Structure 1
């Protein structure tokens, strides 16, 4: 049970500050200076938690009344935060008290203040060229594009449903916005992306003191991700693709994809390789490149299949291509390789769960290369630690959620362990 008490806290100064002490769970306590003081601690009534009405405390009535109002406000605010399912911590509580006692201005000066939509547009425009405080580098081009799209959708909502600013970003808005996005037949993961970006902007604006709204921090104001049935290509299927007789753009797209599928590099990395990234040390050939996404240097040994690709190009990697062009060509290549297994996909579109059947080649994308590497390396017996060192996964939990291994495939891998032989 949460409790509020007021206590004077003696210090070196002549007057004694009065503190609000709020206990709201096991080992969860807030100590907050109210800004009010008494001239002598002996004038404090510890039972009533108020200043005694004595001549030496001429402001006692006014301060006691303020403490009563503060207690009432804080009780109501705490219950309000609980109802909104806000993640309550000392920072959140201090912020509310600072605002009530006017220790903190509710918003920035008029010259710097931005409305929600203004702040949204400014954020992705500014950080497309300037480094984010968190990552120390600008937003990636693809991320900027996503922010622009999300901004346009939010603006459309504001123009056609009801006008929004920070104070309208409530749990009711969340429900209305989700319904609005579902009516557009957006997938659950696409909707989740819109929520994620809006929460980023709201948090940035909150730190800039543009608003005091807190509903966006609620657990109910959540992203709506779902696991989509992504595919991987087996070693046999990759060999089918490598064996194709191709020319021109298809040949180049195929070779880029196969480098990714045999090294685990992201498309943003395997699509910008140069001869300088190809290294050799005492007969050991490997790729060394600083990851564009993580800014981390990775070194990856090269399989014979990758060396064959480089050999046919006089040691040069395939030339760079627009990512969408590679995606489009990969589906044609997969069809030529007869990778036509029927795959059933379950996804949420427009708020409804639907099942779609597609031939496997229709689902091949640039990202399939990296997922194929991780899955095939795992099935081949490479340690998860070594695979993660290449892939950049931070935890085994995220890694196992990423690879695509059936129960039977995992069973066969486990059965090869010496423990079972």
Structure 2
């Protein structure tokens, strides 16, 4: 006897319960399982109907209570929509239909979608395309977790946003109204994301739409217009000066081998300009010597770019301690925790005034410098310190990997006063050579 498939019953929910006095959207929620694959599917579909929450009862079949003036006809419309959903489920081999196709069919049967809006064969609706695109990036032979993770995070936000708004996003939805609403949604309580985080999420949405356009799925180009973006706020960049690096270098940590190793790892980053993923893997094979100059030569993990770095005395002394290898690596997360302990021992406890964005609003907060310790400070300190020492940006960019001077100057911590001092120092050297040249001519 064939297995009998139970037809799921639809549910109707309110989009929001925040204000009992204001109307909110009613959404249909339909869950089912594909018989062929076992895939669990959840449909959230906007009914287009609204009701004040105080007239809504989740416990009864007739959701809208009698106190509502139009309760009878509104309940009838909801029940009709529920029957339509069950009918679609049956008509497609008891659930052999994707979420997007299900919603498209609901739109056709209820008159919300015209027949000429039926998706052509081979066309991928936006959310299906993004799922596919993220999976492609995740499974590429040279896939990097940091790259596909941000894509997955953005996809998760889009799913949650769609659910909250009671509609499935498709290409025609990405206009300026979406841009403004999605940004505000990211700022709302529970999420409270920063302006720069919202900017990153929207830029990834643009990436999705660019790729969908390239593959022929999308023709709506509003996302490419000027203004369809969120301007980033400048963030404060915390670095350690050469003097502070000297304090760390000379710190006696003979009684704390863990912090001794943490200190050495961090200083390798400060004197090499390498990222964490690179400064933890230096080995004797990476050290070369040409014309009497010792250097570190390697290909970076993130960009597979060759970098060649002079082996400075401080860096050489640290590496010699470990037979010219990086100390035994720990995770970046643990290193960040231990660095705070290290900075505290070094008495880097000066107050730092920070501006940060919470829910799109700027707030000021005071932190101790040791509380801000992170492994990435090493690379930024390298770029800032050696630029202030007079090394041209173009030379440092060959080590840091920045492709433009604009990127480089946004990366380093250089205020206007520091910049004026750097220019004055370089001018002094140039003028001295200039004057010496004139003296020799005489």
Same fold (TM over 0.5): yes
Given that 1:286 and 1:299 are in contact with CA atoms closer than 8 Å, whether structure 2 keeps it comes out as: yes
Question: For 1:53-91, what per-residue CA distance to the aligned partner results, in whole angstroms no more than 9, with x for missing partners?
Answer: xxxxxxxxxxxxxxxxxxxxxxxxxxxxxxxxxxxxxxx
Question: For 1:191-239, what per-residue CA distance to the aligned partner results, in whole angstroms no more than 9, with x for missing partners?
Answer: 1111011110111111112222222112121133111001111011111
Question: For 1:242-273, what per-residue CA distance to the aligned partner results, in whole angstroms no more than 9, with x for missing partners?
Answer: 22233444333322221111111122211232
Between 362-371 and 228-237, the greater mean CA deviation after superposition:
362-371
Tell me by how many angstroms 1:386 deviates. Answer: 1.2
**Alignment partner of 1:178 is 2:183:** yes
Return the alpha-carbon distance in structure 1 between the equivalents of residues 354 and 419 of structure 2.
21
**Alignment partner of 1:152 is 2:159:** no
Return the alpha-carbon distance in structure 2 between the equivalents of residues 375 and 208 of structure 1.
42
Q: What's 1:12 paired with?
A: none
Return the alpha-carbon distance in structure 2 between the equivalents of residues 275 and 108 of structure 1.
59
Return the alpha-carbon distance in structure 2 between the equivalents of residues 268 and 226 of structure 1.
27
Could you state the TM-score of these two structures normalised by the residue count of structure 1?
0.69
Return the alpha-carbon distance in structure 2 between the equivalents of residues 249 and 211 of structure 1.
54
Given that 2:209 and 2:223 are in contact with CA atoms closer than 8 Å, whether structure 1 keeps it comes out as: yes
Tell me by how many angstroms 1:290 deviates. Answer: 0.7
From 403, 407, 429, give the equivalent of 1:398.
Answer: 407
Return the alpha-carbon distance in structure 2 between the equivalents of residues 393 and 115 of structure 1.
37
**Alignment partner of 1:117 is 2:127:** yes
**Alignment partner of 1:130 is 2:137:** no
Given that 1:120 and 1:151 are in contact with CA atoms closer than 8 Å, whether structure 2 keeps it comes out as: yes
SS for the counterpart of 1:358 is strand
Structure 1 pair 109/268, CA: closer, same or farther in 2 (3 Å)?
farther
SS for the counterpart of 2:295 is strand
**Alignment partner of 1:274 is 2:267:** no
Could you state the TM-score of these two structures normalised by the residue count of structure 2?
0.66
Given that 2:309 and 2:399 are in contact with CA atoms closer than 8 Å, whether structure 1 keeps it comes out as: yes
Given that 1:271 and 1:320 are in contact with CA atoms closer than 8 Å, whether structure 2 keeps it comes out as: yes
Return the alpha-carbon distance in structure 2 between the equivalents of residues 403 and 113 of structure 1.
45
Tell me by how many angstroms 1:187 deviates. Answer: 0.7
Q: Residues 184-263 of structure 1: matches in 2 within 5 Å?
A: 184-246=191-253, 247-263=256-272
SS for the counterpart of 1:324 is helix
Between 170-179 and 318-327, the greater mean CA deviation after superposition:
318-327
Question: For 1:104-133, what per-residue CA distance to the aligned partner results, in whole angstroms no more than 9, with x for missing partners?
Answer: xx99953x43322222222122112326xx
SS for the counterpart of 2:352 is strand
Q: What's 2:144 paired with?
A: 140
Given that 1:341 and 1:360 are in contact with CA atoms closer than 8 Å, whether structure 2 keeps it comes out as: yes
Q: What's 1:314 paired with?
A: 323
Given that 1:170 and 1:215 are in contact with CA atoms closer than 8 Å, whether structure 2 keeps it comes out as: yes
**Alignment partner of 1:348 is 2:357:** yes
SS for the counterpart of 1:186 is coil
Given that 2:195 and 2:230 are in contact with CA atoms closer than 8 Å, whether structure 1 keeps it comes out as: no
Return the alpha-carbon distance in structure 1 between the equivalents of residues 124 and 329 of structure 2.
40
Q: What's 2:42 paired with?
A: none
From 147, 166, 170, give the equivalent of 1:165.
Answer: 170
Question: For 1:258-293, what per-residue CA distance to the aligned partner results, in whole angstroms no more than 9, with x for missing partners?
Answer: 111111112221123233212234543211001222
Question: For 1:146-178, what per-residue CA distance to the aligned partner results, in whole angstroms no more than 9, with x for missing partners?
Answer: 222221111111111232122212211111111
Tell me by how many angstroms 1:357 deviates. Answer: 1.2
Structure 1: give runs of 5+ residues left out of the alignment: 1-105, 132-137
Question: For 1:326-366, what per-residue CA distance to the aligned partner results, in whole angstroms no more than 9, with x for missing partners?
Answer: 12211111111111221111122212111111111222212
Structure 1 pair 236/108, CA: closer, same or farther in 2 (3 Å)?
farther
From 324, 327, 341, give the equivalent of 2:336.
Answer: 327
**Number of equivalent positions:** 310
Structure 1 pair 383/220, CA: closer, same or farther in 2 (3 Å)?
closer
Given that 1:388 and 1:394 are in contact with CA atoms closer than 8 Å, whether structure 2 keeps it comes out as: yes
**Alignment partner of 1:336 is 2:349:** no
Return the alpha-carbon distance in structure 2 between the equivalents of residues 113 and 251 of structure 1.
58
Given that 1:107 and 1:211 are in contact with CA atoms closer than 8 Å, whether structure 2 keeps it comes out as: no
C-alpha RMSD over aligned residues: 2.2
Return the alpha-carbon distance in structure 2 between the equivalents of residues 319 and 274 of structure 1.
11
Return the alpha-carbon distance in structure 1 between the equivalents of residues 377 and 212 of structure 2.
37
**Alignment partner of 1:265 is 2:274:** yes
SS for the counterpart of 2:138 is coil
